[in-house]
């Protein structure tokens, strides 16, 4: 009996340690609504807030191809974004109105350019129970010149 109590006590302690350490991670800042107006589905470009790249959980970003970025349009759902460019690189939740990415592209000289990409979603979402979806409404790049990668040329 004592053997089982000791075993369960050890498991409970380990579970508690994992829970506490997960809550105490450093450099992870929620970005649910960093940009004023994002919770309403529309932002003023002058008010854009891009998160500090050092706060990303996906350090260094992801190399993506031009074809996948070119497929992202107004009306793209979060599920479709997962398939095209993966999960956001900061600690956004699924219910967040904005997602931020650090994306890397190869340019014509075969050098890598790093860009930040922000997607703003509509405000009509009413929840998974209603089988509702978030739809992308606005897209922003930092630096703005990275927008060229969203225009795929054949």
Percent of residues, the chain, with pLDDT higher than 70: 64
69 token code pair = 């970025």
Candidates 48, 63, 128; CA nearest to 94 is 128
**Interatomic CA distance for residues 149 and 75, integer angstroms:** 19
Phi, psi of 61 (to 5 degrees): 80, -165
- Look over the chain and give the mean of its residue pLDDT values, rounded to a whole number: 75
**Interatomic CA distance for residues 30 and 101, integer angstroms:** 13
Candidates 88, 68, 103; CA nearest to 134 is 88
- Which pLDDT band holds residue 152 (cuts at 50, 70, 90)? low
- The pTM (predicted TM-score) of the whole model is 0.70
- Which pLDDT band holds residue 69 (cuts at 50, 70, 90)? very high
- Which pLDDT band holds residue 34 (cuts at 50, 70, 90)? low
Each residue's pLDDT tens digit, 99-121: 999 999 988 888 999 999 999 88
**Pairing status of strand 62-63 against strand 98-106:** parallel
Contact present, 137 and 124 (Cβ < 8 Å): no
**Interatomic CA distance for residues 38 and 134, integer angstroms:** 13
pLDDT higher than threshold 80 for residue 67: yes
Candidates 98, 83, 102; CA nearest to 141 is 102
pLDDT higher than threshold 50 for residue 41: yes
119 token code pair = 């997607």
Which residue has 């054949």 as its token pair? 154
């Amino acid at each position: 009996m004592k053997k089982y109590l000791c075993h369960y006590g050890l498991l409970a302690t380990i579970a508690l340690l994992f829970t506490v350490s997960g809550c105490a991670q450093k450099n992870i800042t929620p970005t649910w609504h960093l940009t004023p107006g994002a919770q309403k589905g529309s932002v003023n470009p002058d008010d854009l807030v891009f998160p500090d790249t050092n706060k990303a959980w996906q350090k260094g970003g992801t190399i993506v191809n031009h074809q996948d970025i070119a497929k992202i349009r107004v009306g793209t759902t979060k599920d479709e974004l997962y398939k095209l460019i993966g999960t956001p690189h900061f600690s956004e939740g699924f219910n967040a109105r904005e997602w931020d990415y650090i994306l890397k592209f190869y340019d014509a000289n075969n050098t890598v350019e790093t860009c930040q990409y922000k997607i703003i979603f509509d405000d009509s979402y009413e929840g998974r129970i209603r089988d509702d979806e978030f739809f992308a409404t606005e897209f922003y790049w930092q630096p703005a010149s990275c927008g060229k990668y969203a225009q795929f040329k054949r």
